[in-house]
Chain A
Amino acid sequence: MFSLPMLIHPEALESMIAMHHMIEAEGLTKNYGNVTAVDRISLNVAEGELFGLLGPNGSGKTTMIRMLTGQVRPTSGSARVMGLDVVENPVRVREVVGIIPEQETPPSFLTAGEYLRFVARIRNLDGIDEQCDRWFDLLEFSDKRDVLCKDLSRGTRQKLMFAQAFLHEPRLVLIDEPLINLDPIMQRKVKDFLRGYTRDGGTVFLSTHILGIAEEICDRIGIIHNGRLLYTGPVDDLTGSGRHLESFFLDLVRGDAGA
């Protein structure tokens, strides 16, 4: 963890930190009818950080990502992603970030190769042959390039969604359940890639209910339950104090459920 230089005035320091926040959410809330999916969440994610939002199924992780990427409008609160207001500039936000949704699958009747070209055309990217080749090679599915997406296995579809999110070389990527459907070898590869990506200055906001991922690769985590953010802090603080993330998580969530 970095330590803060003491010679800088706190206000200036705050301003500096704010400039480097890739994600700033303030009181973000989303109601679906009578159900509050996300309840007044405020959080920041700094540039170069790998932030993991952890929570049980249905805790509001996906809704949080959808709000941060302008896919759904918040009921109240505000959020800025890479300096852009997500309500005022939802399409611009999705231009600059990469998103890997949890549930969505690529279009059935395009081949894997065609799908990447389709996304490239939407993003106005030219000369992406090398980029496509790189992703097919990195995720080891070059042999599936000409196969219709509907005929791909779930794991291969997830690889394809991974590739589309990084095609425009974004500085920030939001991933909903990053390792879903991937085999252990590919999981290792993806985890290494994400660590390398943040080392090179990229920022990752991922949501997952698999605690091992967070413990292994995240710099900082947030724990969400019933739409409320119960905790944010560095992973090292937990592991350094000798606590296991799993027991910490279970205590927190069970305590909240019992409250």
Chain B
Amino acid sequence: MTPVPDLFLAMMKEEWRIHSTVFGGIWFGLFPCAIAVFAFIGSLALPFFADAVPYTTVALLALIFFLLAGVMVGSFGLMGREFMNRRFGQASLIAYASRSLPVSERRIFAAFLVKDTIYYILLYIFPFTVGFAAATPFISLDPGYILLAFVSLTLAFLIGLSAVCFLSTLYARSIGLLAGAVVALALAALPLGGAAIFPPYSFFLAPGIEPLALSLLFILVPAAISVLFVTADYPDRTKRFRNNLDPLADLLRPLGSEHFIAKDALDLLRSEGGAGKIVFSFLLPVGLIWVCLGILVRFTPGIDPLLMFAVLLGVISATIYNWLTEFDSFSSYTFLPVEVSQVIDGKLKSYALLSLLPVVLIVVVAAVSSGAGAVLPALATFIPVSAYTLAVTVYLTGLHPNVMLYHAGVFVRYVLATSPALLLIIFASIIDPRYAYGSLLLLLPAALLLGRGRRKWQAWDMPGY
């Protein structure tokens, strides 16, 4: 029997080789450095915004960010098999090999969880903490916060990772079970106070055994359940489908690019995870953000939670583009009479259609939380932010956002292009919510970037093998 440590080491090597193959060893090696630099610069800027946004609020935002990172890492690990196949042909990962290895699914999954924990702590959290630590002498912060930040960020990340593994284990067995668990958890969370729902934040505010134990409970129990009840979602028989492409494409004909949009829709519906992808990669993070914003408002009264939600929803919505490109590659079209710009146009139209989901979401949230009058400002914030973030993504990554954003150089440019604009909108809306309408100005650079992005990737020469 292969021991878990051996599996773990093999998986660590595998993860490194995937990333270094896709992004190039040096550029991927620089990715943690880029995180450290941004954390350093961001930490240096803290005193300038201390009056408007207290340190505790910044800490909460950072913890939420790492919680979401955990959710994203877990989602990709569990649902990324087709992406790997498109990128690496029929190459498989150890995590998907329980049928060909003499190792049980549980052992593989346990090793997989440990690997993700260690690997992503080294990739994300450690460099972030190093950047923060380097800045503490310049902002007169107690060095004790360094360890506190590292531990609480790790706890937040692991809660996200563990939660998505737990929920996906339930989903693999029954959608009803998943829905029931979500409702039960929501009902159980309602009577609790804000910080109790999110113990890493309680731990950061007041380090002690109780929030630490509660955090570990939130990590270990869902992780243990998902390991014990894990099931490999391999279809036992070949799936068959009647021709859905033609009816869909005929329906979409008025939009143009109809066959590309229809293909995107079928990719999304038939790929592993299917509707689960929308739950784990979109609705779950968005729900978490809404809950956390509710907490944030208690500490920072100046913040308009709806506008903040609209901004964050706009950023997260841009990940819809990642879904649309996940199972596609331009190399699938190079032998056909198709140009890169045609494929990008198809993706943008698919994106516009799928964006109806967040639009409906924000309309409902705005109407329910703040009344019908809040719908227009929320939409006026959401739509430009979503369009701008998408345009930056398309310009920088073309049809490969899932790959290119881990390239240190591209990642730095992405952060530099998006964060100043988004922070400006957030801070401006804190001063006066009406300033959020200023985000409409983002539509202009968005249009310019999309135009330039199409031309840039049109001229792109496919690399040799």
Interface on A for B, CB 8 Å cutoff? Answer: 30, 32, 35, 37, 62-63, 66, 69, 71-73, 91-92, 94-95, 99-101, 103-111, 113-114, 117-119, 121-123, 146-148, 150-151, 165
Contacts and interface: CB of A to CB of B under 8 A. Distances in A.
16 contacts: A32-B463, A37-B464, A63-B464, A69-B335, A72-B462, A72-B464, A91-B337, A107-B332, A108-B82, A108-B271, A108-B327, A119-B336, A123-B336, A123-B337, A148-B270, A165-B335
Contacts of A72: 461-462, 464
A121 B267 contact: no
Interface residues of B, number: 38
What is the predominant secondary structure among interface residues of chain A facing chain B? mixed
Given A111-B241, A123-B337, A73 B461 contact: yes
B331 A104 contact: yes
Nearest to B463: A32
Contacts of A121: 249, 258-259
Nearest to A123: B337
A118 B245 contact: yes
Interface string B66-82: 00000000000000001
A35 B333 CA distance: 25
Interface string B221-243: 00000000000000100111111
B89 A110 contact: no
Nearest to B331: A104
Contacts of A114: 241, 243-246, 266
Nearest to B259: A121
Contacts of B369: none
B328 interface: yes
A32 to B, nearest CB: 4
B85 interface: yes
Contacts of B333: 122
Contact of A107 (B267, B337, B338, B462): B267
B332 A104 contact: yes
Given A71-B462, A94-B337, A150 B240 contact: no
A101 B338 CA distance: 15
A177 B266 CA distance: 30
Given A117-B245, A123-B337, A150-B82, A109 B463 contact: no
A123 B336 CA distance: 8
Contacts of A35: 464
B21 interface: no
Contact of A94 (B240, B242, B336): B336
B86 A108 contact: yes
A109 B327 contact: yes
A109 B259 contact: no
A113 B243 contact: yes
Given A71-B462, A91-B337, A94-B337, A109 B271 contact: yes
